[in-house]
Amino acid sequence: MSFERKLCLVYAAILFLAAATNYIPGLTDADGLAFGIFALDPFDDALHLASGLWALVAAALSLRAARTFLILFGAAYLGDGLFGILTGWGYLDFGIFTNPSLGPSLSPLRIAANLPHIALGGLALAAGLRSLRRG
């Protein structure tokens, strides 16, 4: 199995864990914040579950499917995290369309809330593009 397909399996596991975060005792605080940083609603859970299924299917299908997942998922999640830094809301959950912009911020809390999407998206995009260059 190629590195890209194995990476998709890792992403599937991470995304399934993200979808389950609200349902694992001790990972959310009394205010419903995951790790005390951000709130995940059922829409977020569905997005993470669908992304995890996409990663799992891509890993099972082929190297080409894995590359496609890594590039498209990576671009979407990286962009969502960057929008979160710039506006306080992401676009994958339609937050930028339903909430007024909070303006850009490099506060530790804003960075922490968006870091998962920036890190996962950036790594996936880099891996997918590197795979394309290698052929």
- What is the average pLDDT value for the chain, to the nearest integer? 92
Of 98, 113, 124, the C-alpha closest to 35 is: 113
Average pLDDT score over residue span 97-115: 94
Average pLDDT score over residue span 39-45: 82
Task: Please tell me the pTM assigned to this model.
Answer: 0.89
Percent of the chain with pLDDT strictly greater than 90: 76
CA distance 4 to 44: 25
DSSP-assigned letters across all residues of 11-39: HHHHHHHHHHGGGSTTSB-TTSEETTTEE
Average pLDDT score over residue span 21-31: 78
Residue 119 has pLDDT above 90, yes or no: yes
| Signed CA dihedral, 75, 81, 82, 86: sign only | positive
pLDDT at 114: 95
